[in-house]
Amino acid sequence: MTHIKICGIKHATHAFEAVQAGAQFLGFVFAESKRQVTIEKAKHISSQLPTHVKKVGVFVNASQEELEHTAKTVGLDFVQLHGDETPEFCKQLTVPYIKSFRVRNESDLKLTRKYDDADYLLLDSATGPYHGGNGTTFDWRLVEQLPFKKDRFILAGGLNQDNVKSAIDQTNPRVVDVSSGVELEGQKNINLIQSFIETVKENS
Ligand SMILES: O=C(O)c1ccccc1N[C@@H]1O[C@H](COP(=O)(O)O)[C@@H](O)[C@H]1O
């Protein structure tokens, strides 16, 4: 079964609806972004969520101190790293981590081999001005060359209710991760969150 991560949560109601619909992971963006939340806000939302829901903090080139402090304060299960964090940096972390890769070609996939202690490896699009959350897809055929086991594979980048079935059929990820694709006019939309989750559940 494919698990679901709804990322860019800023409001408790969106978190509750996503969990009710069946999301297993929720993401809070602490990196600079239109989806950025404060530690206090994320902690407030996170403290009201069931323990089976995995809380993920999204960061870009944060220090080890910031990652670990935020994880402890908010009660994060994972930190998700979208910057230039090296394998050596990641190995020192005392919190479980997801490493993100911006995929253009096969050699981008080879980089994943260096992060052998990552809990999950997330493949995202390289198209767009931001480190993530661009709402663009990459060539899913590249996933055929995946150099790690599918049980650690998170597919991200431009997913939405219309393309997630073919994304799952083509790449068979452990987790699908969506942010832009469940937003309307820059805000999370409960109907889009529900229909994304329903589509994944029907097709995995
Ligand atoms: O969502 C953001 O604003 C963001 C900012 C900085 C790094 C990562 C971010 N989001 C992550 O990007 C991918 C793809 O998102 P989308 O569905 O294409 O919008 C996903 O992993 C988000 O968690």
DSSP letter, residue 144: G
> pTM of the predicted model, to two decimals?
0.97
Report the relative pairing of strands 153-155 and 175-178 from DSSP bridges. parallel
Domain that holds residue 181: 3-202
With the most atoms of ligand 1 within 8 angstroms of its CB, the residue from 61, 79, 179, 193 to mutate is 179
Ligand 1 centroid from CA 200, angstroms: 19
- pLDDT confidence band for 1 (50 / 70 / 90): very high
Q: Which pLDDT tens digit goes with each residue over 93-150?
A: 999 999 999 999 999 999 999 999 999 999 999 999 999 999 999 999 999 989 888 9
Cβ atoms of residues 5 and 18 within 8 Å = no
CATH code of the domain in which 149 resides? 3.20.20.70
Ligand 1 centroid from CA 148, angstroms: 22
Ligand 1 centroid from CA 176, angstroms: 12
pLDDT reading at 48 higher than 90: yes
Largest CA distance in the chain: 41
Total domains present in the chain: 1
Q: Which pLDDT tens digit goes with each residue over 182-202?
A: 999 999 999 999 999 999 999
Residues annotated as catalytic are 7, 124
Cβ atoms of residues 75 and 50 within 8 Å = no
ipTM higher than threshold 0.85 = yes
- pLDDT confidence band for 16 (50 / 70 / 90): very high
